[in-house]
Chain A
Amino acid sequence: MSDKNKTSDDALNFKATELRLGLPGSESPERVDQRFLTLKNLCPVSGAKRVFSNAINGSNKWVFSPGSTTDVNSGSVPVKDHKPGVSVKEKKSSAAAPASKAQVVGWPPIRSFRKNTMASSQSQKQGGNTNPETEEKAKSGPETCLYVKVSMEGAPYLRKIDLKTYKSYVELSSALEKMFSCFTIGPFGSHRRCGRDGLNESRLTNLLSGSVYVVTYEDKDSDWMLVGDVPWEMFICSCKKLRIMKSS
């Protein structure tokens, strides 16, 4: 789904805030639930309304705002003490600006479709300022990206790539290899390209089966051409679709 939170890998960025024993860079020997703990300490109870509304209004990500500065009980682990409520007791006076915000992917659990619909609803209300998130969600405009479908003979699914992200046939070829490698790779791992110049970027060889793949594209006139014949700039202007075929 395209509205994926791009920082999802950092979403639960507990490593940075984690209390650890041992040398930096080493794995903490005991598995205390530091992540869980950190999350707890970042999270106030009241002020929740505000937190949530900021999140939904501004972006598609839900954001935690840590409450008061003094409430961080990092020493005692409320979780293990079974002391309910202690960990999240907030100070009502927590008017201080949030020191840091942790973003949590997929919380609250609302489907992307709904989030995007509401986001564009609100942006309309704000007098038509387009929300960058909804821009991202909307069809890609021709000026900013150049998505083409890439299909491969024998593959059960196709992919889409943005031609604007590549600067040459070499880059395109290696990207395609990576994307479709599960169909060409045998037990011995990587495959070799024939060693000539530009044109060969369009060939992918499967060592095991010996079949060679060629990359073709459909141009503006709906003709199917071999990739690599024309200069790169001309290619990206005329390419509508890509197809990786077995050359027999």
Chain B
Amino acid sequence: MDRRFPFKVLEHIFSFLDVNEDRNSVSMVCKSWFETERRTRKRVFVGNCYAVSPLKVARRFPKMRSLTLKGKPHFADYNLVPDGWGGYAWPWIEAMAARRPLLEEIRLKRMVVTDECLEKIAASFRDFKSLVLTSCEGFSTDGIAAVASTCRKLRDLELRECIVDDLGGDWLTYFPETSTSLASLDFSCLDSEVKLSDLERLLSRSPNLKSLKLNRSVTLDVLASLLRRAPQLVELGTGSFSDELDPEEISKLTKALSELKQLKSLSGLWDLLPEYIPVLYSVCPRLTSLNLSYATVQMPDLIDLLSRCSKLQKLWVMDLIEDKGLKTVALCCKELRELRVFPSGADLDETDVTLTEQGLVSVSEGCQKLESVLYFCVQFTNAALVSIAKNRPNFRCFRLCVMEPFAPDYRTQQPLDEGFKAIVERCKDLRRLSVSGLLTDKAFEYIGVHAKKLRMLSIAFAGDSDLMLHHLLSGCERLKKLEIRDCPFGDTALLENAAKLETMRSLWMSSCFVSFGACKQLSQKMPRLNVEVIDEHPPKTRPDSSPVERIYIYRTVAGPRQDTPEFVWTIHKNPEVGVSRLSIR
């Protein structure tokens, strides 16, 4: 008896699945579910662009409308991955242009995107709506101009912290006069000035524009005029906030800001001067997201601002907020879900910036909904970590960066093992963790035992031996991404837990003690992993016992990649001759 649902029914049911993890699970049930699911998936996410070939992805999902790709490993953000490593968008763009011309959205993170890529996008996808590039590089404002001018239905153009070859502000003039579809524009990472009149005209004809993030070159004196043309904004990233304004200009700006009745998110605020803080008062009560991480304003001026932000859910700020400021946040921002405190590098001789562990403790006490933290601090204590864990068992993301490597608990001189133990024991839903400070193997034993839902773990300058890695790889069942630098362990744990690596997206280790021989062994043992040894200055001969600088291991069904630079060694290359042996497919 055939009990299968008709395709149409299944298709309808699957249309309610919008989380890709669910779709992945569903597609593994049986062949017909796989087929149904693949024909209905519209939003495709590929977490590692080398894990699968573009062609396979294009073929598998005929209804694809949105593609998200990630390229370089996360530690590339901190200059640990040499230039030219890889992560090229071109093969993907080319493949999609040929097979999926109805693609509407492309989101890339940490990839190399060239002007050719952008031109190809503009030329190939007639309904193209949305381009979001995060931490990408390799393109110039010419490429952006191509997208702006050709994509008639362009809705989102967002360049988030990209490195762009900025050839001038002309690109803005390439939006056709007839285009009115723009909903989101983010050019905050560009350096050069755009012409005010061009920007004003664009805003005037974009009634759907909800999100606008200006770059730093947009000066404060023109902000009011821009805002008057976009009163419907929900997200605003200002330009520089430190230029001199006369009283009349200040009052115009205050009024223009108060007219933004729908504004929920505010960022930019470069070099915010204390005297301009009152200008922002009118928007504070509505704000759910505030990014002050480029605002160099200090205490006590920050209190005036923060005490008015009772609806705040997301706050990014510098350590200039100090413990005092965080106490205010704990009192006033009861809706807070995410907090990031970045180091300002303030000259600590002149100013007395006191941000300690106490700041985070206060916030963890006062903000019941807090679930995500990134906190840079010079030193910490176990007691503070234990309090934080007790107060906030609902953490999903806990990233603590004790900036002094190997710093123990400064009161007891003990390692921070017990503190992190409390975190992983109590925070049962923890998905992401970054540890720092002085840590022994014990800390990682605790993590292995307790952090059962952990997906991503970042470690630096920690541990004593191979045991550390062994605890993690054998204990953390859901671990998907592990990145480690400057930890003293090597081969044994890696080889013993090789099978685990196929269940993870990737493992990064740099400045550890993995030997070249172990890399070779691992490569031979695990053909479905790409094991990349990245040594910018490899020795002329490589004995098996020599340690490697960096190793990046990831699972893949695409086989060895063809675009590795010289400094990346894989088993498929013959190291003596220095030549790529192309694999026979």
Contacts and interface: CB of A to CB of B under 8 A. Distances in A.
A193 to B, nearest CB: 18
B577 A2 contact: no
Nearest to A140: B165
Contacts of B461: 36, 39
Contacts of B582: 187
Nearest to B441: A82
B341 to A, nearest CB: 12
A39 B579 contact: no
Nearest to A116: B163
Contact of B404 (A2, A48, A89, A158): A48
Contacts of B407: 45, 48, 88
B61 interface: no
Contacts of B344: 56, 118
A104 B79 CA distance: 11
B295 to A, nearest CB: 10
- For B76, B413, B438, B488, the residue with the greatest tally of chain A CB atoms inside 10 Å of its CB is B488
A33 interface: yes
B187 interface: no
A215 B578 CA distance: 25
Interface in A147-184: 149, 151, 156-158, 160, 182
B537 interface: yes
Nearest to B167: A139
Given A84-B415, A112-B77, A79 B577 contact: no
Given A45-B379, A45-B404, A35 B112 contact: no
B161 interface: yes
Given A1-B137, A79-B464, A39 B486 contact: yes
Interface stretch (A5-13, A91-99, A195-203, A220-228): A5-13
A48 B376 CA distance: 13
B196 interface: no
A27 interface: yes
B401 A57 contact: no
Nearest to B164: A139
A31 B135 contact: no
B113 to A, nearest CB: 9
A84 B482 CA distance: 25
A178 to B, nearest CB: 8
A192 interface: no
Nearest to A118: B345
A8 B536 contact: yes
Given A4-B83, A33-B488, A88-B406, A113 B161 contact: yes
Contact of A48 (B83, B94, B342, B378): B378
Where chain B touches its partner, the secondary structure class is loop
Nearest to B578: A189
Nearest to B161: A113
B80 interface: yes
Interface residues of B, number: 87
A70 interface: no
A28 to B, nearest CB: 10
B398 interface: no
Contacts of A206: none
Contacts of B189: 113
Contact of B78 (A110, A118, A139): A110
B112 A121 contact: no
B82 interface: yes
Interface string B292-326: 01101000000000000000000000000000000
Nearest to B439: A84
Contacts of A33: 488, 513
B406 A156 contact: no
Contacts of B440: 82, 84
A85 B166 contact: no
Given A1-B137, A8-B79, A85-B414, A114 B342 contact: yes
Contacts of A50: 348-349
A189 B579 contact: yes
Contacts of A122: 345
B296 A27 contact: no
Interface in B458-481: 458, 460-461, 464-465
Contact of B296 (A2, A52, A112, A121): A121
Given A4-B82, A106-B78, A158-B116, A35 B581 contact: no
B563 interface: yes
Given A107-B405, A121-B296, A27 B545 contact: yes
A82 B488 CA distance: 13
A114 B78 CA distance: 11
Contact of A109 (B77, B404, B410, B546): B77
Contact of B345 (A3, A8, A55, A82): A55
Interface in A38-59: 39-40, 43, 45, 48-53, 55-57
A52 B379 CA distance: 12
A151 B116 contact: yes
A189 B580 CA distance: 9
Contacts of B137: 1
B415 A85 contact: yes
A189 B464 contact: no
B464 A82 contact: yes
A5 B79 contact: yes
B137 to A, nearest CB: 6
A79 B513 CA distance: 14
B511 A12 contact: yes
Nearest to A87: B406
Given A39-B405, A107-B460, A112 B79 contact: yes
B191 interface: yes
Contacts of B343: 52, 56, 108, 110
13 contacts: A1-B83, A27-B546, A31-B490, A33-B488, A49-B378, A52-B378, A56-B345, A84-B413, A117-B216, A118-B344, A122-B345, A125-B296, A156-B90
> Which 7 A/B pairs are nearest by Cβ-Cβ distance?
A56-B345, A106-B78, A85-B413, A33-B488, A156-B90, A48-B404, A113-B161
Interface of A: 1-5, 8-9, 12, 27, 31, 33, 35-36, 39-40, 43, 45, 48-53, 55-57, 79-80, 82, 84-85, 87-89, 104-114, 117-118, 121-122, 124-125, 138-139, 149, 151, 156-158, 160, 182, 185, 187, 189
Given A109-B78, A113-B189, 8 more contacts: A1-B83, A48-B404, A56-B344, A84-B413, A108-B376, A124-B271, A138-B191, A185-B580
